[in-house]
């Protein structure tokens, strides 16, 4: 049993936002543990290149270009995902946008709609399209990428935080609704992770001094450390975990600054 706890052989995973720093690590980790991986992002060329790299590493992978801002088009893309291998066992919703920085009162309607559509509504729509087939296959695992920005107030990226807090709640709702049919749903809330998206923060010496002082492990996280948790949640190792929001932040949200 111990050797098979993290085995994903025979499973099919769909990863959104799959060509960015964290998405790449998620695809590699899921594939390395035996899953076939659908590489999804809004850039068709980037999807194809990433799928080819995974294939060269011995991972069964295929590209699936999907524009999550086009809510009306998600059903057709979900149908393509289901057709690839006959179903999806692991859904990792990693795609997201930060949106504008600044006070919530200054956010325009278009920005609000874009962030909520991509970060939240698209996830619900994709789940709605895929989970009935997942249940028919005997169950599966849904992993929603939230953030510690959804756990505490933030005067800089409040809209992003709202959308991420809602994702954690969506995971709980999906867990309750679909648990009787063998589907587990969880969220992951990363802290500061070394990805291209975090480059401006990593290069800000004053910010980093403050952040690391608040973080007991005194370092930033690495993409593979998030991907490893996703493998656990997708595999038999996480078979009794559902409705949980797993915080992976080196202790930032519990640190006292000392």
pLDDT digits (tens, 9 = 90+) for 125-171: 999 999 999 999 999 999 999 999 999 998 889 999 999 999 999 99
- In a domain, residue 7? The reply is no
- In a domain, residue 201? The reply is no
User: Residue 71 maps to which CATH number?
Assistant: 3.40.50.720
pLDDT band (50, 70, 90) for residue 3:
low
- Whether 198 shows a pLDDT value over 80: the answer reads yes
- In a domain, residue 180? The reply is yes
> 156: burial class by Cβ within 10 Å (0-12, 13-18, 19+)?
exposed
- In a domain, residue 215? The reply is no
Q: DSSP 3-state assignment of 155?
A: coil
The pLDDT value recorded for residue 117 is 97
pLDDT band (50, 70, 90) for residue 258:
low
pTM: 0.96
- In a domain, residue 37? The reply is yes
pLDDT band (50, 70, 90) for residue 257:
low
Of the listed 37, 64, 160, 174, which one is catalytic?
A: 160
- In a domain, residue 258? The reply is no
| Cα-based distances in Å from 32 to 41, 87, 100, 224 | 20, 20, 36, 12
Q: Tens digit of pLDDT for each residue in 91-131? A: 999 999 999 988 999 999 999 999 999 999 999 999 999 99
CA dihedral 214, 215, 218, 219 (to 10 degrees): -120
- In a domain, residue 176? The reply is yes
The pLDDT value recorded for residue 197 is 82
Sign of CA dihedral 93, 94, 99, 102: positive
CA-wise closest residue to 123 among 69, 191, 64: 69
* Number of domains making up the chain: 1
The pLDDT value recorded for residue 71 is 96
Mean pLDDT over each residue of the chain, to the nearest integer: 95
pLDDT band (50, 70, 90) for residue 185:
very high
**160 tagged catalytic:** yes
- In a domain, residue 234? The reply is yes
CA-wise closest residue to 219 among 254, 170, 181, 252: 252
Domain enclosing residue 37, as ranges: 12-196+222-247
């Amino acid at each position: 049993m111990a050797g098979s706890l993290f085995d994903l052989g025979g499973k099919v995973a769909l990863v959104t936002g799959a060509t960015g720093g964290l998405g790449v690590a998620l695809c590699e980790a899921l594939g390395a543990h035996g899953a076939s991986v659908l590489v999804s992002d809004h850039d068709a060329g980037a999807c194809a290149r990433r799928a080819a790299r995974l294939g060269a590493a011995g991972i069964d992978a295929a590209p699936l270009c999907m524009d999550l801002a086009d809510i009306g088009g998600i059903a057709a893309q979900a149908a393509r995902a289901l057709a690839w291998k006959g179903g999806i066992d692991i859904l990792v919703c990693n795609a997201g946008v930060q949106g504008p920085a600044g006070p919530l009162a200054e956010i325009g309607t278009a920005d609000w709609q874009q962030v909520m559509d991509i970060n939240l509504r698209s996830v619900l729509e994709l789940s709605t399209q895929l989970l009935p087939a997942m249940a028919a296959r005997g169950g599966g695992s849904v992993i929603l990428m939230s953030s510690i920005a959804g756990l505490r107030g933030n005067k800089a990226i409040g809209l992003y935080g709202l959308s991420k807090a809602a994702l954690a709640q969506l995971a709980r709702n999906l867990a309750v609704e679909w648990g009787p049919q063998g589907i587990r749903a969880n969220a992951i809330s990363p802290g500061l992770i070394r990805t291209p998206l975090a480059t401006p923060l990593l290069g800000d010496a004053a910010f980093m001094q403050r952040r690391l002082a608040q973080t007991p492990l005194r370092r930033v996280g690495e993409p593979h450390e998030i991907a490893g948790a996703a493998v656990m949640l997708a595999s038999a190792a996480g078979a009794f975990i559902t409705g949980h929001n797993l915080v992976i932040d080196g202790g930032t949200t519990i640190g006292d600054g000392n």
